[in-house]
Amino acid sequence: MDQSSSVVLLMVGGCLALTLLAACSQKTRSIFFDGAAEGPPPPTTRVRRDLLKEIDKLEQELAETHRALETVKKTARAGKGEVAAPPAAEQAKTWEEAAKVLPKDATGQVDWIAALGTKAVVPRSTADPNTPEPAVFDLDVEFARTSSRLLGSPKVFAVTYRHADHTQWLRCDNCHPAIFSLKRDRKPPVVTMAKIQAGKYCGACHGKVAFAPEGACGRCHRGLPRQADWRPAEEPRTPIERAANWADAAKLLPITQGTPDWVKALADGVVAPRAGVDPATQDQPVMPLDVELVPKDNPGFKVVYSHEAHTQWLSCDSCHTGIFKMAKGATPITMDKIFAGQYCGACHGKVAFPLEACGRCHASMAGGS
């Protein structure tokens, strides 16, 4: 082959190479020529998803490595005798021993929140020491009664529920949604002390494993005084107010059928109730209305309910509409329900004469000793 033929072949080969290179993609050209591509193409959705999974896997492995390292450190400290002693309460063998080292509140009951703050107790989330502690939920929920006829201030019975105090001990599903619904209902459930004392709402724990409601009102109702440090601004109205204890007072009260007769005590002037703590509060008007309740199957057990006798002690909202509805025949009263603490049993048998004094209500049964 002569020189001219070689030149022709080289020219043909060069043209063919340029044609093929022009038809190649940018990625292919970048293999042969550095800098030919401006940058790698963006990753696809599938590639990004795989990358995120890989990152999550690496983070989990890192967390497991940290936990394993902490376990090794604890084991090493244990071998050197450097294990921290458990709190004194955890070393107690009985509840009496534990109670002696736990902080108390003003009522003498164990103050578990103070125990947390002073590290007298250190709750664990699970039996596994490597389980991370759950986050504390810092949210305050306000509960307030709208009005109080006796005390006047709507904030006296206000309650601030602190999630931060409770989530140091409990998980969210301990209370939600079985005890307290997470729904914002138009008519939310009415939480009352009667329901709490019956074991509902807060009573699921308080009075059982947490402090009891009795005698610890100020623990929840911050507006109430922690102690009775006030003094009456007027002299006693009757001699019974000078009594230092119930035994002395009972000696001055009239007795009917073996129990104090408060209605007779009012009529005789032995007692003189006040409308409120403030002596300047005006006495409420007495309502002179008698309501007859006659059982259909036994008219002989008729009861005459005297509003006059009761409104000398109570305000209307003490009974209406929480205990008795203000509609004729809307309250099916029976002795079984009264003995169960409903209707008249909300007071009688507790702060008023006992239910066994039948003749005090049923005139046909009066005359017994």
pLDDT in tens, 67-118: 777 766 666 666 655 556 778 888 888 888 888 899 988 777 888 888 988 8
Length of the chain: 369
E runs forming strands in 144-289: 159-162, 255-256, 259-260
Residue 359 maps to a domain: yes
**Which of 351, 369, 106, 349 is closest to 246 using CA atoms?**
351
**Which of 80, 86, 167, 159 is closest to 119 using CA atoms?**
86
Q: Which contiguous run of DSSP H or E holds residue 46?
A: helix 45-79
| Tokens, residue 101 | 């080292």
| Tokens, residue 174 | 């301990």
Is residue 219 within 8 A of residue 210, CB to CB? The reply is: no
Residue 87 maps to a domain: no
Is residue 111 within 8 A of residue 101, CB to CB? The reply is: no
Residue 79 maps to a domain: no
CATH number (domain holding residue 209): 3.90.10.10
State yes or no: cis peptide before 19, omega within 30 of 0.
no
The residue range of the domain holding 180 is 123-228
Residue 101 maps to a domain: no
Based on the structure, what is the number of domains in the chain?
A: 2
Residue 164 maps to a domain: yes
Rounded Cα distance between 211 and 205, Å, is: 8
Q: Residues 131, 212: one domain? A: yes
Q: Residues 283, 223: one domain? A: no
Residue 155 maps to a domain: yes
Cα dihedral 60, 63, 64, 68, rounded to 10, equals: 170
Give 202-220 pLDDT, tens digit per residue: 999 998 888 888 778 888 8
Block mean pLDDT (10 aa), the chain, length 369: 53 54 53 52 67 80 76 64 71 88 83 88 80 85 65 69 90 90 76 89 90 82 66 75 85 86 88 76 84 88 91 87 84 90 90 86 75
Rounded Cα distance between 339 and 284, Å, is: 30
Residue 162 maps to a domain: yes
Residue 36 maps to a domain: no
Q: Which contiguous run of DSSP H or E holds residue 68?
A: helix 45-79
pTM (2 d.p.): 0.42
Rounded Cα distance between 162 and 139, Å, is: 6
